[in-house]
Amino acid sequence: MRTDFTTVYWRDMKKFFRSKYVLITSLIQPALWLAIYGLSMSGSFDLVNAGTPLRQSFVSVNYLTFMAAGVVSLTVLFTCLYSGTYVQFDIQFGLMKEMVASPIKRSHILLGLSLSGLTKALIQTTIILGFGLILGVKYFVGFTILNIMLSILGILLFVVLFSTGLMFLALTLGITIEGHDSIQSVITLLTLPLFFASNALYPMNSLPTAIQVASSFNPLSYFINGIRYFSIGEKFYSMGTYYEFGTTDMLVSLVVLSIFTIAMFLLAMRAIKRVKMV
């Protein structure tokens, strides 16, 4: 089993690191969001926080720190969903049929491809978090060393869970949609509503009612809640809104992301079983 999916995994990772332009652009885009949009908007949005009396035990968070979780979600979203285009190339050049016709189980093919996408997401998330520190994002303020270690593990857990679900979705799209241009259009169509119909850039209560309803069903919102909980804390104030997360909120987020991942896995298995060997 290990040889099966690691072969697929290393093949995809080698292809990723050899594509220098893909590697660089996948890192530059979220960095530009954090550097240009985050820094330019921080001055305006931070005025909302200025002069507002804080409730006891709440920490005031600037906009750059608030939106950092949104940029992490953007990184994961683009990295994983656009992996579907690579699957489309494999299908066009007949490589997918060769893998399906090989002794490798189809579930192991999905596992290897999803693990490669997960690895890319973890690498890019780490780089973006480090870049955020350089720009002045305030992570883990007031945390003890133990809390920081546990928070990092929590962030990794959420990234792993959400990235895996997105990879299964990307693989489903890559297998079922014919044509490179078509899959790029569909991925772009999915990416925009997933990102903007969430709490990535603005507080949920500041969004129109219809967007709030859509956001409550958006797995990206629950992913961002987890990142903010572990990187900022249980109680904080930002952009005129008080945030208070508890254990129940995190359990709900984990359940939602788990359901999303399982559902996407079932779709991906259904799609890859339909791939013909000839």
Q: How many CB atoms lie within 10 A of CB 101?
A: 13
Domain ranges of the chain: 2-37+56-273
Cα gap 63→181, rounded to integer Å: 36
Average pLDDT, the chain: 83
- The predicted pLDDT at position 161 comes to 94
CA dihedral 196, 201, 205, 210 (to 10 degrees): -10
How much of the chain is in helix, strand and coil states, percent to nearest 5?
Answer: 75, 5, 20
Burial degree of 112 (CB within 10 A; 0-12, 13-18, 19+): buried
Give the tens place of pLDDT for each residue, 107-134.
888 888 888 888 888 888 888 888 888 8
**pTM here?**
0.87
Is 2 a residue whose pLDDT tops 70? no
Taking the alpha carbons at both ends of the chain, their separation in whole angstroms is 24
Cα gap 167→171, rounded to integer Å: 6
- Which residue did the predictor score with more confidence, 104 or 202? 202
* Banded model confidence at residue 1, pLDDT cuts 50, 70, 90: very low
